[in-house]
Amino acid sequence: MDYYSKQISKLIEELSRLPGIGAKSAQRLAFHILNMPPEQVDELAGALTDARHNIKYCQECFTLTDTDICPICKNKARDHKTIMVVETPRDLTAYEKTGKYEGVYHVLHGAISPMLGIGPNEIRLKELMSRLTKEDIEEVIIATNSSLEGETTAMYISKLIKPTGIKVSRIASGVPVGGDLEYIDEVTLLRALEGRTEL
Ligand code: ZN
């Protein structure tokens, strides 16, 4: 790509690495950025760098946060005996937006996928099991996606937890197959949560 000067090409190249950004969008974004006031660009660059360098995993639920313990885990008003297991921090946000879930979470950061070579040790499953032995937990709600990977993960987790005697439930289907939780509207999410069944 020699149509642009080196720095513009570099900017387009970096932007096109982002998910969902093709070559055309990258060009459009690059020229948009070049037309922004310099202070605004500094803000954007600063936000990117700060977020990437300061965000870490919550020591309890493993969501992304800028403190050792995230605000949800820190909140004493929440029900710490109910853990909802989700695949990503985005799924957590989707449930938080419903404003109706009062328990806490556990973020796996992925799902078991034999096809992609992702086994139980590649997700935060050991950490979940260790929480179950250390904390007084009454129910684990498995809210992994309804994709093949999500279902495989749900089955695997329920088999692990069953012997402990802790109640394990799975959110109701009705969430479209293969659907990412984050794209599902809040009413559907709530219905899935309320209609959960014990495994
Ligand atoms: Zn947390």
Q: How far is the CA of 1 from the centre of ligand 1 (A)?
A: 44
Q: What is the rounded CA–CA span in Å between residue 175 and residue 58?
A: 27
Task: Return mean pLDDT, the chain.
Answer: 90
Tokens standing for 117? 């070579």
The one-character DSSP state at 116 is T
Q: How far is the CA of 158 from the centre of ligand 1 (A)?
A: 22
What confidence tier does 177 reach under pLDDT thresholds 50, 70, 90?
A: very low
Q: How far is the CA of 163 from the centre of ligand 1 (A)?
A: 25
pLDDT at 193: 85
Q: What is the rounded CA–CA span in Å between residue 147 and residue 175?
A: 10
Q: What is the rounded CA–CA span in Å between residue 87 and residue 11?
A: 32
pLDDT at 179: 54
Q: What is the pLDDT of residues 73-93, one digit of tens each?
A: 999 999 999 999 999 999 999
What confidence tier does 2 reach under pLDDT thresholds 50, 70, 90?
A: low
Q: Which residue has the higher pLDDT, 160 or 181?
A: 160
Helix 6-15 to helix 23-35 angle (10° resolution) is: 120
Q: Do residues 143 and 191 make contact, with C-beta atoms less than 8 angstroms apart?
A: no
Q: How far is the CA of 73 from the centre of ligand 1 (A)?
A: 4
CA-wise closest residue to 112 among 97, 100, 122: 122
Task: Give the percent of the chain with pLDDT over 70.
Answer: 93
pTM strictly above 0.95: no
22 to 3, 18, 32: CA distances (angstroms):
17, 8, 15
Distance of CA 135 to the CA centre of its chain: 22
Q: How far is the CA of 33 from the centre of ligand 1 (A)?
A: 35
Q: What is the pLDDT of residues 9-47, one digit of tens each?
A: 999 999 999 999 999 999 999 999 999 999 999 999 999
What confidence tier does 147 reach under pLDDT thresholds 50, 70, 90?
A: confident
* Per-chain residues with Cβ under 5 A from ion ligand 1: 58, 60-61, 70, 73
Does the pLDDT value for residue 69 go beyond 90?
Answer: yes
